[in-house]
């Protein structure tokens, strides 16, 4: 839509097509979280107002050098679109309930309007999902086949929209109390909180269960959208919580793009001398045996903060721009900022100003391509 990726279909063998996608420009992205919706004027508003505010959001993103938006469409087993199965997202429609699907709650389709606004202005739109999360205490159990089917049903609904990608956050095994085990197809359209509860399995089984979902989503999005996952920035923690980076970054058929959240500066720790950002970036690059396209999540929201054990955020206002330069030196695919509202937060002002000075950079040092089978 905006030249971000070029797709070419090639016949490799009878009845088998390989999709080759080449990134011709740097991905300069931002996450638009459900936490941003109210400040953006997207909550409990009429269609005309929503459409106007969605366009303002896209224009503001573009003014800050952004060419890709990751828009939260599924945060808590809900839908930011007119789903026939799942309830409306309460951060868009505060009176939404499990008693009726989103198609009955929304008088217009939020995702459709956001996609139209993005593409009108040459900005890519990726649909962002927290696949398993129902609430902070309980998640869907990745062990359950019906949990997987429930998520695939949501992905298929979203793929009927003009989205450029399907994007998962890394909340797989992060429930505070436990996991709902769905055991009936009838539970596609009911509150999963009524299901039986599972508890956390071993790290090996966590990865095995999540991998089944990741492979199915990759297959489901084949030829339709880019599939990406954004894991936390600690490789060991990822492996212990169901994010099988070793497998995903060494084999075809899992993710099209990886977006690690490297949310530290190079002045981490009590001494302020630990180069944490560079260290974690290096870990992910070494882990990436298949050279899967990599875009780095950056912590704009931490700008100017003190007392985090990371002195860099309070020492200077050029952490983000410096990290972007590092990403470019390594020939990676780009960056994604967390999150949209921080573009206008006072303590983030210096970081945003310095970032905008270098936002016109367009060409990649190393052209990235990958195959999807």
| CB-neighbour burial class of residue 115 (10 A; exposed 0-12, middle 13-18, buried 19+) | buried
pTM reported for the whole predicted model:
0.92
> Angle, to 10 degrees, between the axis of helix 110-120 and the axis of helix 47-63?
40
Contact 192, 131 (CB under 8 A): no
Given a cut of 90, whether residue 309 has pLDDT beyond it is yes
Q: How far apart are CA 29 and CA 68, in angstroms?
A: 5
Distances (CA, A) of 334 to 20, 124, 239, 291: 19, 14, 24, 14
Give tens-digit pLDDT for 333-359.
999 999 999 999 999 999 999 999 998
Does CATH place domain 26-372 in 3.20.20.80? yes
Per-domain residue ranges of the chain: 26-372
Three-state secondary-structure class, residue 304: coil
The total number of residues shown for the chain amounts to 373
Residue corresponding to tokens 């309980």: 138
> Which of the four pLDDT bands, split at 50, 70 and 90, describes residue 21?
low
- Residue 361, pLDDT score: 52
């Amino acid at each position: 839509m905006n030249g971000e990726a070029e797709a070419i279909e090639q016949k490799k063998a009878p009845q088998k097509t390989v999709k080759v996608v080449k990134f011709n420009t740097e991905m300069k992205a931002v996450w638009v979280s459900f936490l941003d919706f109210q400040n953006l004027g997207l909550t409990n508003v009429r269609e005309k107002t929503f459409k106007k505010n969605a366009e303002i959001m896209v224009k503001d993103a573009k003014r800050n050098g952004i060419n890709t938006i990751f828009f939260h469409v599924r945060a808590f087993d809900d839908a930011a679109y007119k789903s026939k199965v799942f309830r409306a997202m309460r951060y868009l429609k505060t009176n939404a309930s499990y008693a009726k699907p989103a198609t009955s709650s929304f008088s217009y389709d939020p995702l459709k309007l956001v996609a139209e606004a993005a593409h009108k202005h040459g900005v890519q739109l990726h649909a962002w999902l927290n696949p398993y999360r129902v609430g902070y205490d309980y998640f869907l159990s990745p062990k359950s086949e019906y949990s997987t089917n429930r998520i695939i049903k949501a992905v298929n609904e979203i793929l009927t929209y003009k989205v450029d990608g399907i994007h998962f956050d890394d909340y797989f095994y992060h429930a505070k109390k436990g996991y709902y085990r769905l055991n009936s197809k009838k539970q596609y359209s009911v509150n999963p909180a009524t299901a039986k509860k599972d508890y956390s399995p071993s790290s090996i089984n966590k990865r095995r269960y999540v991998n089944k979902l990741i492979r199915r989503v990759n297959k489901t999005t084949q030829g339709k959208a880019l599939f990406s996952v954004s894991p936390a920035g600690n490789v060991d923690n990822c492996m212990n919580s169901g994010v099988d980076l070793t497998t995903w970054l060494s084999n075809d058929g899992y993710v099209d793009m990886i977006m690690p959240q490297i949310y530290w500066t190079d002045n981490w720790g009590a001494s302020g001398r630990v180069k944490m950002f560079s260290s974690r970036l290096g870990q992910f690059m070494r882990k990436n045996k298949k050279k899967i396209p990599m875009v780095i999540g950056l912590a704009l929201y931490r700008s100017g903060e003190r007392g985090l054990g990371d002195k860099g955020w309070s020492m200077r206002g050029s952490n983000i721009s410096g990290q972007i330069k590092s990403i470019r030196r390594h020939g990676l695919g780009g960056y994604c900022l967390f999150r949209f509202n921080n573009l206008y937060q006072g303590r983030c002002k210096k970081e945003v100003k310095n970032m905008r000075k270098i936002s016109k950079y367009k060409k990649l040092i190393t052209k990235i391509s990958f195959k999807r089978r």
